[in-house]
């Protein structure tokens, strides 16, 4: 059953990632991978909230495969982030590549921290 929940969650997360990425790219243009950046940071925040809720009993432990592994696994995208960073390097955009690398790591950590704080404020652990 968990495999089906992960698969369903992955499908939902992947579609959400595609829609968010397309929206951001249309709004801000293709010069910098803002869509991937936004997806990874918001996904970090959301997984912090989800896991705080699971840990605090606000969500059943059985929700973790569907929400954290499936949806968030399908939504966030480490491989795309790496590819887009490589494209920036190959295009001579070294400053943008460094910003993308450091920015996503730092913003992702801040996002997951804020997600945990938010989740705990709502009763999670």
DSSP string across 41-77 = HHHHHHHHHHHHHHHTTSS-TTHHIIIIIIIHHHH--
Write out the two tokens for 125: 């652990």
pLDDT at 104 over 90: yes
73 marked as binding residue: yes
d(CA 94, CA 86): 10
Total domain count for the chain?
Answer: 1
Contact 46, 115 (CB under 8 A): yes
pTM of the model: 0.84
Nearest by Cα to 33 from 47, 44, 20, 43: 20
pLDDT at 103: 96
d(CA 121, CA 24): 30
Please tell me the total number of residues recorded for the chain in this structure: 125
Q: Residue 111: give the domain boundaries.
A: 2-121
Q: What is the mean pLDDT of the chain?
A: 94
57 marked as binding residue: no
pLDDT at 41: 94
pLDDT digits over 48-96, tens only?
A: 999 999 999 999 999 999 999 999 999 998 878 998 999 999 999 999 9
pLDDT at 16 over 90: yes
pLDDT at 10 over 90: yes
d(CA 52, CA 25): 31
pLDDT at 39 over 90: yes
pLDDT at 79: 78
Contact 40, 112 (CB under 8 A): no
pLDDT at 73: 93
Percent of the chain with pLDDT over 70: 100
């Amino acid at each position: 059953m968990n495999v089906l929940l992960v698969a369903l969650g992955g499908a939902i997360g992947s579609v959400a990632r595609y829609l968010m990425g397309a929206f951001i790219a249309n709004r801000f243009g293709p010069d910098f991978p803002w869509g991937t950046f936004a997806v990874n940071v918001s996904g970090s925040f959301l997984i912090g909230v989800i896991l705080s809720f699971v840990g605090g009993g606000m969500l059943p432990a059985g929700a973790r495969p569907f929400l954290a592994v499936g949806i968030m696994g399908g939504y966030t995208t480490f491989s795309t982030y790496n590819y887009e960073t490589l494209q920036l390097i190959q295009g001579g955009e070294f400053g943008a590549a460094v910003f993308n690398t450091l920015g996503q790591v730092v913003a992702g950590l801040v996002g997951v921290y804020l997600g945990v704080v938010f989740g705990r404020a709502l009763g999670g652990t």
